[in-house]
């Protein structure tokens, strides 16, 4: 949180909009890290099981690598939001929407890989 100025009796005045924006950014970054960890675990299980050498495993690995690219893109988008007071609110909403879409797609690919690996 950023302190903007002092109030009447010297108490700090906090800009609640900036505080909400900082919290939203931290939550999006935390979710991105969680999804990245899920993706890494799925790739590791794919290699450890030896399924990567099958046609289905190769297709799944390709999907997981594409998901990893989505996560890198989401990280780049979140980095653009880091100076919260320099970002237009409309642009921020568009970026958060894109990040949410990328994270949802990545989570779906990781979940699909878990189902396939559980069957093997």
Render pLDDT for 44-66 as a digit per residue (tens, 0 to 9): 988 898 888 999 889 999 999 99
3-class SS shares of the chain: helix, strand, coil, % to 5: 80, 5, 15
pLDDT under 50: residue ranges of the chain: 1, 3
Predicted confidence at residue 1, as pLDDT, reads 45
Which of the 8 DSSP states describes residue 15?
-
* CA geometry: angle 111, 54, 62, nearest 5 deg: 50
């Amino acid at each position: 949180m950023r302190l903007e100025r002092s109030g009447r009796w010297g108490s700090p005045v906090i800009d609640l909009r900036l505080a909400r924006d900082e919290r939203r950014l931290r939550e999006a970054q935390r979710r991105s890290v969680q999804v990245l960890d899920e993706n890494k675990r799925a790739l590791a299980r794919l290699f450890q099981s030896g399924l990567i050498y099958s046609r289905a495993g190769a297709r799944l690995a390709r999907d997981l690598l594409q998901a990893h690219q989505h996560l890198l893109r989401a990280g780049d988008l979140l980095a653009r939001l880091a100076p919260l007071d320099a970002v237009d609110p409309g642009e921020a909403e568009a970026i958060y929407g894109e990040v949410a879409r990328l994270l949802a797609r990545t989570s779906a690919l990781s979940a699909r890989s878990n189902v396939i690996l559980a069957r093997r």
